[in-house]
Amino acid sequence: MASHQMQSNRFELKYLIDEKRARLARDFVRAHLEPDPFAKPANNFSYFIHSLYLDTPGRDLCFATTAGHRNRIKLRIRFYDDNPDTPIFFEIKRRVNDVILKERAAAKKSCVLRLLNGWWPERSDLFKPEDDKGWRSLWRFMEMKDALNAQGAIFVSYLREAWVHPIDDTVRVTVDRDLTTSVFRNVPIGLTDFEKWRRPPLSGVVLELKFTDRFPHWMRELVQSLDLWRGPFAKYVTCTHNLRHAPPRTPDGLTYMDKFVR
């Protein structure tokens, strides 16, 4: 089995689809990809992803997405379980025109509140202190946080079905379900009262086609055979506006859901 890592430079195409098409997409991609090593077949080849998104007091990073800025960033802290002994990941996600650039640092969960509250990182905060690349990424994250005066904003959680290339990391297909959100209250990172988190209403699930080079021919065939229509969808934006009791809107006045309507 290949050792799959996060794609650091890729294209992402998003589609909001119903469950029937999601099952058809799964049947289609199984001929080309294999389940993500972390996916559980007993749970529809899925696993949970939880992220704490940072933003400015005026929610400038959220606005950059709704305004359609071609060059923008997101700062988030991602984790996959409530175990204090597993790593947490400080991630920078940049969009430059149509290309998505990502970098992240694996750190200890115990350092998160201290770093969010104004302290600077130490080598011992890393999950593997000898990780030079992670150390540089963690410092870049903190420098961006400091420059933007960014603070912990909201949690975004979902169940991800993931399929990967059997040899390398050039292609990836994911389906995200069960979007859940909560306000960050400056307490230790975890899933306290997770069952009480809010569920933004969605008219489907989010299919993402991810690739690092050319759009694979078989992906084009998938899009055409299922009559998929690409549209913008940002989980952080959707959750932010849901918590503020207002649907996210694009500059032309349409909601993100409207953008998926043919």
- Can you tell me the distance from the alpha carbon of 221 to that of 209, in angstroms, rounded to the nearest whole number? 12
User: Are residues 234 and 65 in contact, defined by beta-carbon separation less than 8 angstroms?
Assistant: yes
The predicted pLDDT at position 253 comes to 46
Long-range Cβ contact pairs of 139-146 (< 8 A, separation 24 or more)? 140/92, 140/103, 141/75, 141/90, 141/91, 141/92, 141/105, 142/115, 144/73, 144/75, 144/92, 145/54, 145/75
Tell how strand 71-79 and strand 151-164 pair up. unpaired
What are the residue ranges of helices labelled H in 49-131? 60-66, 112-116
What are the residue ranges of helices labelled H in the chain? 19-29, 60-66, 112-116, 132-148, 217-225, 235-243
Sorted by sequence, the CB contacts under 8 Å of residue 92 that are 6+ apart come out as 73, 74, 75, 102, 103, 104, 137, 140, 141, 144
Residue with tokens 């984790």: 79
- Can you tell me the distance from the alpha carbon of 236 to that of 162, in angstroms, rounded to the nearest whole number? 20
The predicted pLDDT at position 256 comes to 37
What are 90's two structure tokens?
């400080």
pLDDT digit string (tens) for the chain, length 262 residues: 344 455 457 899 999 999 999 999 999 999 999 999 988 888 888 999 999 999 999 999 999 999 988 899 999 999 999 999 999 999 999 998 878 999 999 999 999 999 999 999 999 999 999 999 999 999 999 999 999 999 999 999 999 999 999 888 899 999 999 999 999 999 989 898 999 999 998 889 999 999 998 899 999 999 999 999 998 789 999 999 999 854 444 445 444 334 333 2
The predicted pLDDT at position 44 comes to 83
Question: What single DSSP character describes residue 120?
Answer: P
The domains found in the chain, sorted by start residue, are 9-260 (3.20.100.30)
User: Are residues 61 and 55 in contact, defined by beta-carbon separation less than 8 angstroms?
Assistant: yes
The predicted pLDDT at position 3 comes to 42
Q: DSSP for 130-142?
A: T-HHHHHHHHHHH
The predicted pLDDT at position 98 comes to 79
The predicted pLDDT at position 68 comes to 85
The predicted pLDDT at position 52 comes to 98
Question: What single DSSP character describes residue 257?
Answer: T
